[in-house]
């Protein structure tokens, strides 16, 4: 039977990947996963790992992060994540100065004022071991929250499929569109492969999922997959619902919201944002941004 092989996350978006034996999962994602992000000091734009691959080798612990009232530069600001403006508190401090020295440009640290991860698409990323045939097997380079060992009986997932992982239930939103960061060694940050042409057409690998049932995960938890049933009527209803939501939300489409699932957008800036709600997330052809 398929089982949960690894659990991973990072306190600071784009920095080194850490492993866990168990972790809590809520609607916004894994506990403490990517609530912080580095931003350029001059324009408060989020750094992206492909811009600064050396970030992936910098592993941080909770004690490396400033406290709520430490080194505060902006008590509340709007940081830029692609075309979104995310409310955040912005800090300086030792870690920010270390990143600045590495980047050769002043970097600050921003913590979202929301309780969910700073990601473009779905909050939980899932990699199947069966996807890695012929690819490097060091899963941290792909930065998945969950690695599922399904090599004995490969799972077939699509948008709308559900995964029961221990006490947690996830729903697949779509496949993840990857970028060049997977070409870099997760320990050194050095480029050591050219993988984008070796994964599924469209640079797809792994799956973005929303959380249906919250709970705690532990390495070794059994995994059960349930495929979604789709009809033409479902698709037509999704089209109508999506159009209605798009009209309602156009004025504030770039604002982050507390409801889930969230809008789907680009990976590394080369795909178009697709506003909409749950109906859009269930489409089989959707591509989500990678879990940087």
Q: What is the DSSP string of 210-222?
A: EEEE-EEEETT-B
- Cis peptide, bond prior to residue 274, ω within 30 of zero: no
Q: What is the pLDDT of residue 213?
A: 97
User: Which residues lie closer than 8 Å to 137 by C-beta, 6 or more apart?
Assistant: none
The two three-digit tokens of residue 237, written as one number: 């209803």
Closest CA to 280 of 254, 256, 261: 261
Give pLDDT, residue 290. Answer: 53
On average, the pLDDT of the chain sits at 81
pTM: 0.79
Spatial distance between the Cα atoms of 123 and 173, rounded to a whole number of angstroms: 10
For residue 243, is pLDDT > 80? no
Pairwise CA distance, residues 233 & 231, whole Å: 5
Closest by CA position to 29, among listed 48, 11, 49: 11
Asked whether 84 and 256 are in contact (CB, 8 A), the reply is yes
Q: At residue 212, does pLDDT exceed 50?
A: yes
193-208 residue pLDDT tens:
899 889 998 899 999 9
More confident residue, 235 or 275: 235
74 DSSP β-pair partners: 90
Q: Are strands 18-20 and 3-9 parallel, antiparallel or unpaired?
A: antiparallel
Strand partners, 20: 7
pLDDT at position 235 is 43
Q: State the pLDDT at residue 76.
A: 96
What pLDDT, on the 0 to 100 scale, is given for residue 292? 53
Residues 6 or more apart in contact with residue 56 via CB below 8 angstroms: 14, 15, 16, 17, 49, 181, 184, 186, 189
Lowest mean pLDDT across 4-8, 48-52, 265-269: 265-269
For residue 240, what is the enclosing H or E element? helix 232-249
């Amino acid at each position: 039977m398929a089982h949960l092989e690894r659990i991973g996350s990072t306190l600071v978006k784009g920095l080194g990947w850490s492993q866990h034996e168990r972790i809590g999962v809520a609607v916004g994602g894994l506990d403490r996963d990517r609530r912080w992000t580095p931003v350029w000091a001059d324009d408060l734009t989020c750094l992206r790992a492909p811009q600064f691959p050396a970030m992936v080798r910098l592993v941080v612990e909770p004690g490396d992060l400033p406290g709520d009232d430490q080194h505060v530069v902006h008590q509340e600001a709007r940081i830029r994540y692609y075309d979104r403006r995310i409310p955040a508190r912005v800090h300086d401090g030792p870690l920010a100065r270390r990143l600045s020295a590495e980047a050769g440009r002043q970097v600050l640290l921003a913590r979202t004022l929301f309780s969910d991860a700073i990601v473009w698409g779905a909050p939980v990323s899932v990699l199947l071991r069966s996807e890695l045939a012929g690819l490097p097997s060091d899963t941290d380079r792909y930065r998945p929250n969950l690695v599922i060992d399904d090599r004995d009986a490969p799972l077939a997932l699509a948008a709308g499929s559900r995964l029961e992982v221990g006490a947690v239930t996830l729903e697949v939103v779509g496949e993840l569109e990857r970028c060049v960061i997977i070409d870099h060694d997760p320990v050194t940050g050095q480029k050591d492969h050219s993988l984008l042409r070796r994964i599924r057409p469209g640079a797809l690998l792994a799956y973005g999922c929303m959380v249906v049932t919250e709970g705690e995960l532990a390495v070794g938890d059994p995994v059960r997959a349930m495929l979604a049933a789709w009809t033409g009527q479902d698709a037509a209803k999704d089209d109508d619902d999506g159009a209605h939501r798009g009209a309602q939300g156009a004025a504030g489409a770039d604002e982050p919201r507390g409801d889930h699932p969230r809008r789907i957008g680009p990976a590394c800036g080369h795909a178009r944002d697709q506003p909409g709600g749950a109906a859009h997330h269930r489409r089989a052809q959707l591509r989500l941004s990678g879990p940087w």
